Every structure is written in C-alpha cells, then in structure tokens.
A and B are shown apart, each in its own frame.
Chain A
C-alpha cells in the first residue's frame, strides 16, 4: 500500500517534470495562425521556418556559436578535470585550497562571476568575447562538475591495476594510456557530457561576459521578453532535441562500454 502511494507520488513528480516540456514541444508545431497557448490551430513547421529563415533573429548563428563554445568547453573541461583528478590522488600542498575554490566556483551565483569577468575584461581593455571571457566564465561552471566526477571515478579505481602494469614494465605514460584512461573512460564521457550541456545551456555566466554576439540561450532569453509567437517554442524544441541527442549519445556510449566489459570473463 505504501508502495503504491509512493509510486503514485513519484509518477506525479515525473509528470510535473516532463509535462510542461512536452506541451511546448507540441505547441511548437502550431499552424501559422496559432498562438502561444492551446488549442492548436493546425499543425505545421511554420515556426521553425520563421526561426531560421526570418531576418529578425540570429538563431542559426547563435546556435553555431553555442555549439562551438560547448565543444570547446567540453574539450578543455575533460582535459583539465582529468589532469587535476590525477593530481588529487596524491597529497600535495594547496590541495585543500584548490578543492575549496572548486566548491566555491560551483555554488557562486553565476551572475556575480559574469559581472566580475565582464568588468575586468572591459577595464583591462581586452574586451569581452565568447571565445575568451565567455569561455573562461563557462569553465568556472563546468570544471567543478568535472573534478567532482573525477573524484568519484578515481575513488572507485583500484590503484593495484596501475601497480600491476608497473610491475609488468609499463612506463608512467604507457600506464596512463593503456591502463588508467581506458578503465575510467565512462567517467571521462560523463565529464564531457556535463561539459557540453552545461555550457550549451548556460545563461547567468554568459550574460555579461559573452560579448556582443549572443549564444543560443541568451537569444532565447531575449525572445522570452519580446516574442509572443510560437517560434519561441520552436527554438525551445530545437535546443531540447540537441541536448537530448547529446545525452543519448553519451549514455549510450557509457552503457556500450560497460556492457562490453561485462561480457569479458574475469571482469565484474
């Protein structure tokens, strides 16, 4: 009985989580006469057409910038988190402080960081741009996630595997390439997933640090304040589909690796 009560509660929560999202998905296919709310007045891809082919906005370019920045952030986050994760396996002076900074970076309201970076770049005279100040601002959001995931990954990683490889004559570099990295690869994919999606959807850290050219979330954010037609939902559907694709690819590759490993005898 308590099972059904809790299961019902959980189902309601999932509905609460996904219900509204699915309604904008449906509404983005409004007919040309349709508005921001139900009922549907026909079904069309009219608003997607408006989105990418009208002169008003800059959705296509914004998307390309966002995707580019996301990939850049993803690469740097993965590399830096992996390296730092390796470092944190040993004790070193200042490790506590860097960890503390990471946590601060994680919970600091993004607008404050955005404000600081934006103003600093203006005053120094470099000027803000998505691939300089914007990139740095996004990294303060993705790196903490990357490092924390690496902690979790290395915490479950048995040191004896590397020691065995060393006993067998592998060099430090070879151990890294042939033993450590392949074993923790699912964790690295997870870091990459966080790196891309967090950057791709970020607003607060972008708003004052990204420069004059908007990323996609900023474009959407601006649209929420002045667009009253369903192309707002069209862009929402579009960007959500992109996110879902990235999530699916990541989860699928993690599951694929795990399944292959489970199939190998001697591995649990």
Chain B
C-alpha cells in the first residue's frame, strides 16, 4: 500500500512540471509558433493583385530582394535603430549610474526608478501624440524659443520629421535600457570600486575597466529590447514623420492595408529570421534567467 503510494508520489513529482507548464506552452504554440509558421507558408503563396491562394512560389521573395525599396527600408530601419540605440544607451547608462552610485538610500533609489518606469504601464500612442502639441509649429517648444528670443520663426523640423520620430522613440524606449542596466549595475560590490581606486584607477578608469564591463549583461538585454522595439514599430515612424519616413514594418503594414498579404509575409519572414538570429546570439552571451534571479 505505502509502496504504491510512494511510487505514485514519485511519478507525480516527475509529471507535475509538464502539467504546470502545459497551458503556457499551449498558448505559445497556438498563438506564436503556428501563426508564424503560417506566415512562412503564406510567403510562398501566389498573389495576383486581387486575391491570393495556396501555392508554392518564390516570386514574393524575388520581388522583395529585387526591389531597391527593400534595401532602402532596411537601411532606414538600421539608421533609426542605431541612432535610437546610441541615445538610449547613453541616457539609460547615465541615469542608472546616477541611481546606483549617487543615491544612497534604497528607498529613494526605488522611488526614482519607479518614476522612470511608470510611463511603461501607460499607453504608447498617448505618449506619442503628446509630443504633437509640444513640437508643433505653434507648439510649446517653438513658442518658448520665440518668447526667449532665440528664434523669430518657428522651427519646422521639430514635428513631422525624422527628428520627431527619434525623440519619440527615445521617449518611449529609454526605460527599457534603464531597468536592465540598473539591475546589473546595482549588483556591483562597492568594495570592488574601492579596490580599483586603491590600485590607482581614476574615475574614468573605473568607468571603463570596472563599471561598463560589469554592466555588460544589462546593456545587452536593454539593447535587445530597444532594437526589437524600434524595428517592430510601425506607427511612430508613420505619424511622427507625417508619413514621410518608413521602416520595414511600417511598409509591411501598408502592404497589409492594401491586402497584399503574401508579399507582406515575405518581408515578415525576413524580420523573423533577423529577430530569431539575434535572440539566439544574445542568449549565448547572457544568461537571462540568472540575471533575473540574482
């Protein structure tokens, strides 16, 4: 009797994790894997400007790679991503540095970090459109500058321009840098910094030899977030540029709006490939689970 119970207990122990993880795995399978595989299939379907139907053609890919527009979109996407990445890393690192090394009490640290993260839980569209009354011709910024006397004509490039797109991206995504960088920076033992100072390191040496290397995993994680968010955006780039700029995903959205599904699926596959490669690489550099636990 007790022997049987012991065996069933051990079996339960072994089966339980599968039961517990099953619902999550099922959702991901049904709503992530299957749809993306389906996008893959769709990219090979035939398409004749009016409708699309199951088939196997490489035409969508041929068109995608043959079009100079694809490469221009790619280049623009990369440019946006690079500029935003640089700005968010600089701002995120500086803010984390301030929070970690200049704020003494844990309570204040948490409070200031919360102030940085609260917008994360609010709507991105709202945060985006809130720049319109700010940057517009009649906007707060221009009127302020005119009032002070720096300019006498409103600056036109502030809104509906690449500048506006980048300002908006930085506004939306910097907190995705701050949180992971802060998380790895705050784990740096202060005595390590004192040891470096003992060894003759000045503030710059400490920054480059100790703090930056030890914040690396946070920077990498933040980078992944910012890069995929900028790459995946389709409305900031459209609205804030006044439809003058585009990136791969916003172009894809245009194709979808015109019901050009198979070509859109082909560009989607290209993006999926890039994202999967990037993630595989990053998971090799950083142990995300350990980052979270420690």
Q: List A residues at the B interface (Cβ < 8 Å).
A: 2-3, 6-7, 9-10, 13-14, 16-21, 23-24, 27, 36-38, 79-81, 83-84, 86-88, 90, 92, 94-95, 98-105, 107-113, 115-117, 119-120, 123, 136-137, 139-140, 143, 147-148, 151-152, 155-156, 193-194, 197-198, 200-201, 203-204, 207-208, 217, 220-221, 224-225, 232-233, 236, 239-240, 243-244, 246-247, 251
Contact = CB atoms under 8 A, between A and B. Distances in A.
Nearest to A244: B122
Contacts of B70: none
B126 A220 contact: yes
A244 B123 CA distance: 10
B185 interface: no
Q: Give the secondary structure class of A's interface.
A: helix
A39 B287 CA distance: 52
B192 interface: no
Contact of B225 (A107, A116, A139, A194): A107
B20 A87 contact: yes
B130 A203 contact: no
A211 to B, nearest CB: 15
B61 interface: no
Contact of A92 (B17, B30, B232, B289): B17
Contacts, number: 258
Nearest to A207: B253
Interface stretch (B78-86, B108-116, B194-202, B211-219): B108-116
B23 interface: yes
A203 B31 contact: no
B138 A204 contact: no
Contacts of B276: 104
A220 B123 contact: yes
Contact of A7 (B28, B102, B122, B275): B102
B127 interface: yes
A221 B20 CA distance: 38
B239 A6 contact: no
Contacts of A105: 28, 32
A113 B36 contact: yes
B23 A113 contact: no
Interface of B: 16-21, 23-25, 27-28, 30-36, 38-39, 42, 91, 94-95, 97-99, 102, 112, 114-116, 118-119, 121-134, 136, 138-140, 143, 171, 174-175, 203, 224-225, 228, 231-232, 234-235, 239, 249, 252-253, 256, 261, 264-265, 268, 271-272, 275-276, 278-279, 283, 288-289, 292-294
B24 A140 contact: no
A137 to B, nearest CB: 6
A232 B234 contact: no
Given A101-B32, A137-B31, A143-B27, A19 B134 contact: yes
Contact of A221 (B39, B94, B125, B174): B125
12 contacts: A14-B115, A14-B116, A20-B130, A21-B130, A24-B129, A36-B136, A111-B234, A139-B31, A143-B27, A143-B28, A155-B294, A208-B256
B40 to A, nearest CB: 9
A98 B25 CA distance: 7
Nearest to B96: A10
Contacts of B20: 83-84, 86-87
Given A101-B33, A104-B275, A236-B129, A10 B121 contact: no
A32 B289 CA distance: 53
A97 B92 CA distance: 31
Given A21-B119, A38-B138, A236-B126, 7 more contacts: A19-B134, A105-B32, A111-B252, A115-B35, A136-B30, A140-B27, A221-B125
A247 B121 contact: yes
Contact of B36 (A10, A112, A246): A112
B25 A20 contact: no
Contacts of B21: 83-84, 87-88, 92, 95, 98
A199 to B, nearest CB: 11
A217 B36 contact: no
A221 B138 CA distance: 23
A88 B294 CA distance: 16
A88 B16 CA distance: 11
B293 A151 contact: yes
Given A24-B130, A197-B122, A98 B171 contact: no
B125 A220 contact: yes
A116 to B, nearest CB: 3
